[in-house]
Amino acid sequence: MPTKNHSYAELLELNSWIRKCSDTFFWLCTTRTVQESKLFPVNPYIALSYLNAWYRYPQLLRKLEEHMSAEDIGDRAREVTTYANAIANGIIPQFYLGGRQILIDMGMISPTDALDDVAYVLDFSRRLNLSYHRNHAHILASDANQRMQLLPERVVQVFEADAFPVKPGDRLHTAVVKFLAQISQYAFLSHAECRLGIHNSGPYMVGENSEMLVRDFVDLAEGDLPWLDGVASAVSYNNLTIPVILKDTHFHIVDDWASFEATPAYDHANMAAVGVYTSDYLSGGYLPVAMDSPDTLAEFLENEREVLRKATSDLWKVMATWSRDQLIDAGLLVYYNVPKDLFHIAGIYEQEDWFTVEERAQRFKPLMNDEYGRDLIAELVGYISLSSQQGNEYVMSKYSMARGDMWSTIPYSVLSDDEFTTSVGQIRGGSTSLPAKAGLYTTTKGKLTQEQANAEAKKLDCLVFEDKYRFLDDEWMKLHPNDPRAQELYLYSQRNSRTLKGKGASLLRGDFISPEDK
């Protein structure tokens, strides 16, 4: 009997999303190289993370939506910086489809298998990304010509107004430059050689010759990553957001992996103003960090840089003693757990859901030597050369002109025959070779246990998440700047601002910048 769970219209939409994912992932992968590391077996862990995603995402994401919808979570994620950001949200369907494609190519499943699971995970990820990217009304940065304007005016205004002017050679400029290098280094190491700890969004136009890039660094402190227990005990904040305003610089690419390229190339010498904020799933917005004066901010960055430098050194010493299986598990789990902060937002985060490897993924480890891992990932996402990826002899793929596409679509035959299955079934436990999480979770409400953090998230009640305000976007604001609700929204976002507190909704740039900066 054909499927009764899915309509033709739904499958058309889902296959379009699958193909968009294929095309964007291909562009992203081939503008880099196959990533290798002497420390981490990167490609074996990437392949295994895809498989873990395939077996686990359907059940976990369904559980999530029993508590909070993808759209609600996307709205909340957009107001703060967490791991639930553009790169992580956008990559959920990619990793899941990667696991599916590997198994299809091995002949272990067919494109019509786990139909209900595939449809659900894809639909969830599409709704999540639509909601998260609502402000620019695209689903991905690549749809906006590699641009990612996530934030409404009320937030960007505060970032600009509160940013401290800097110039090369002054204390704050020097502190920021050195801090950015150290935190980038730390983020790559803490995330097992992947870029998922680093995020950029924007740019936003700031006057005629300047643009603002919002630079984020996530999962820095003792928290979800169990290997940060102890070594990151002195790290002050779990997530940091650093809006930087660069003069005479155009960010022509801020892509789906939250990486940027600029013309001319990003040069710290062009940094004209900067601020620092923290936020998380409990903060309900951005909180300024040491933003009382340029000196207090410089002092914080100088001190925190030393903290991160020590944490980098200590963490490296720990990782240098790990077994291959531990190194693989760390990277595998960082990749696989890209949806984890959605569960923090909903208040149902369980460490075991995101830091164990399901037995059906574990069994593939004997295959995952360095060469197979490297070549599998290269063929899967770069060359599009796997047998299962090939189309007919007339096919010309979007970017590559290849005869095939990265991810197989769902055959429409499921609407007319019974050759399909519905699900991969229930999660069958999991294990890891890494030490278990033992420490607390660093949040903007202090260091909490998992249960405390979940309870705080569930009771989080802030104005921007209320239905009365949630749907008041910039398109509405255009015609309602004097509406009391607009005033309340702006006052909420300005509540911690050094310069804009209490200014309200009618504010324009010219009201708070000096004439010479216009």
Partner 1 sequence: MGQPNTNDSKWGKKAMTPTVEFYHNRIRELVAERFASSGKPWNDAVVDPNLEFTKADFEKIEAELLATGYRFEMSAQISQQEEPDKYKSLVGVQDSGNRERDEEGREVVGTGDNVFNAKANVIGTARMISNVEIVMEMLINGVPDGTIAIIDDSGGTLTAPILEGFAGVVCMGGTVRSHLGILTREYGVPCLMAAELDGLNDGDTIEVEFARQGEQANGGDSNSRRRIWKIEEIGGK
Q: Note the residue count of the chain.
A: 518
CB of 471 to partner 1, least distance (A): 38
Binding status of residue 248 toward partner 1 by CB under 8 A: no
**Binding-site member from 248, 352, 419, 475 for partner 1 (CB under 8 A):** 419
Count of positions on this chain that bind partner 1 (CB under 8 A): 81
Stretch that binds partner 1, among 13-21, 32-40, 56-64, 92-100 (CB under 8 A): 32-40
Residues 240 and 217: beta-carbon distance below 8 Å: yes
Residues 166 and 176: beta-carbon distance below 8 Å: yes
Closer to partner 1 by CB, 400 or 499: give it.
Answer: 400
Closer to partner 1 by CB, 167 or 501: give it.
Answer: 167
Binding status of residue 59 toward partner 1 by CB under 8 A: no
Q: In sequence order, what are the beta bridge partners of 240? A: 217, 278
Kindly identify the residues of this chain, within the stretch 423-442, that bind partner 1 according to CB under 8 A: 425
**Binding-site member from 145, 392, 426, 514 for partner 1 (CB under 8 A):** 392
Binding status of residue 390 toward partner 1 by CB under 8 A: yes
Integer Cα distance of 49 and 189 in angstroms: 18
CB of 56 to partner 1, least distance (A): 16
Kindly identify the residues of this chain, within the stretch 172-201, that bind partner 1 according to CB under 8 A: 177, 180-181, 184-186, 188-189, 192-193, 195
Closer to partner 1 by CB, 193 or 280: give it.
Answer: 193
Closer to partner 1 by CB, 365 or 470: give it.
Answer: 365
CB of 62 to partner 1, least distance (A): 18
Report which of 340, 282, 294 is spatially closest to residue 172, judged by C-alpha positions: 294
Give Cα 410 to chain centroid, integer Å.
Answer: 26
- Written as one letter, the residue type at 63 is K
Kindly identify the residues of this chain, within the stretch 445-484, that bind partner 1 according to CB under 8 A: none
**Binding-site member from 89, 210, 278, 312 for partner 1 (CB under 8 A):** 312
Peptide bond into 203 cis (omega under 30): yes
Closer to partner 1 by CB, 86 or 139: give it.
Answer: 86
CB of 5 to partner 1, least distance (A): 15
Stretch that binds partner 1, among 133-141, 318-326, 435-443, 502-510 (CB under 8 A): 318-326
Kindly identify the residues of this chain, within the stretch 325-354, that bind partner 1 according to CB under 8 A: 327
How would DSSP label each residue in 132-187?
HTGGGT-SSGGGGTS-B--S-HHHHHHHHHHPEE--TTSHHHHHHHHHHHHHHHHH
Name 262's Cβ contacts closer than 8 Å, sequence gap at least 6: 246, 249, 250, 251, 252, 253
**Binding-site member from 387, 416, 431, 482 for partner 1 (CB under 8 A):** 387
Report which of 39, 51, 43, 40 is spatially closest to residue 430, judged by C-alpha positions: 51
Binding status of residue 106 toward partner 1 by CB under 8 A: yes
- Written as one letter, the residue type at 267 is D
Closer to partner 1 by CB, 111 or 339: give it.
Answer: 111
- Written as one letter, the residue type at 191 is H
DSSP 219: S
Report which of 32, 251, 266, 27 is spatially closest to residue 140, judged by C-alpha positions: 27
